[in-house]
Amino acid sequence: MHLSNLKTKFIGRNIVHYQVVTSTMSVAKQLVKDDATEGTVIIADEQTEGRGRLGRTWIAPPASNLLISIILYPKLAQLSQLNMVAALSVSQAVEKVTELSSSIKWPNDILIRGKKVSGILIENILEGREVKASIVGIGINVNFFPDLDITPTPTSLSGECGKELSREMVLQCFLEEFEHLYKLLDTGQIVYEKWLARVETLGKTIRVKWNDRIEVGCAESIEPDGTLIMRCPDGSIRRVVAGEVTLQV
Ligand code: BTN
């Protein structure tokens, strides 16, 4: 995949493109062991074991969608906001290429008209108690979406804007947004506020699934580290941490 006019300094300056891999996440982990530079992007046309959040699978036919992982070496304090950078940059890129507005379902699903066009999976590589690297995995349904009866309903960029789109164009736009926001992380607050402004979950009644227990409440607020504060019908508060639960809206 060739990006002729990429305006970034380090994100996507090194792109490793495969036809078929198990998962770009696994390839990225191997490249971290080989000391890959920050911003290295792994792209696959096809994954045989593509993975989603909470142990789910991620499906895309060959060369239809964007399947990417980015290798980062963030500071510890930046880790909790990495998913905000990722979700916000996808959401902004999606708006630029489709001219349709896009929102974020907490913690990091990207939606158009309430349907999911993209998901994010972050895996951290630990060395003792330190985080050695973070792998940010992004799947964007550019020209295909799986016809699954799940919430939120899947869709694709082409399905929403009525024409096929070039994966290169979406990728370039996304990488530029991503670098811009990742650099802003040093200032912390700005990314959180921009992300929060797009989160459509706030104020809604939500159903939180903790293993096999479901609790209903109102999504009252979200803290700068991404923790969602849910108000239960009896007035009590639950702190909901991304990665532990499924949100059923
Ligand atoms: C989700 O469950 O919403 C997250 C989906 C993340 C999918 C992407 S595709 C590229 C990267 N490689 C994977 O195996 N998963 C992520």
Domain ranges of the chain: 15-196, 205-247
CA of 50 to the centre of ligand 1 (A): 6
Output the ligand 1 site: residues, CB below 6 A: 23-25, 47, 50-53, 56, 58, 67-69, 109, 119-121, 137-139
CA of 37 to the centre of ligand 1 (A): 21
* Averaged pLDDT score across all residues of the chain: 93
Which residue did the predictor score with more confidence, 188 or 109?
109
Cis geometry, peptide bond prior to residue 61 (ω within 30 degrees of 0) = no
Please give the share of the chain, as a percent, with pLDDT higher than 70.
97
Q: Is the pLDDT of residue 44 over 80?
A: yes
Asked if residue 135 lies in contact with residue 122, where contact means CB atoms within 8 angstroms, the answer is yes
HSE on the CB side for 56, CA within 13 Å? Answer: 14
Q: Which CATH architecture has domain 15-196?
A: 2-Layer Sandwich (3.30)
pLDDT tens, residue by residue, 47-94: 999 999 988 999 999 999 999 999 999 998 899 899 999 999 999 999
- pTM for the structure as a whole: 0.95
- CATH of the domain spanning 205-247: 2.30.30.100
3-state secondary structure 175-222: HHHHHHHHHHHHHCHHHHHHHHHHECCCCCEEEEEECCEEEEEEEEEE
**Gap between the Cα atoms of 88 and 90, Å rounded:** 5
Q: pLDDT band for 249, please (50, 70, 90 cuts).
A: low
Please tell me the predicted confidence (pLDDT) of residue 214: 86
Residue nearest to atom 3 of ligand 1 (CA): 119
Please give the share of the chain, as a percent, with pLDDT higher than 90.
81
pLDDT tens, residue by residue, 157-183: 999 999 999 999 999 999 999 999 999
Q: pLDDT band for 149, please (50, 70, 90 cuts).
A: confident
pLDDT tens, residue by residue, 208-229: 887 788 889 999 999 999 999 9
Residue 178 main-chain phi, psi, to 5 deg = -60, -50
Please tell me the predicted confidence (pLDDT) of residue 213: 84
Q: pLDDT band for 114, please (50, 70, 90 cuts).
A: very high
Fold match, 15-196 / 205-247: no
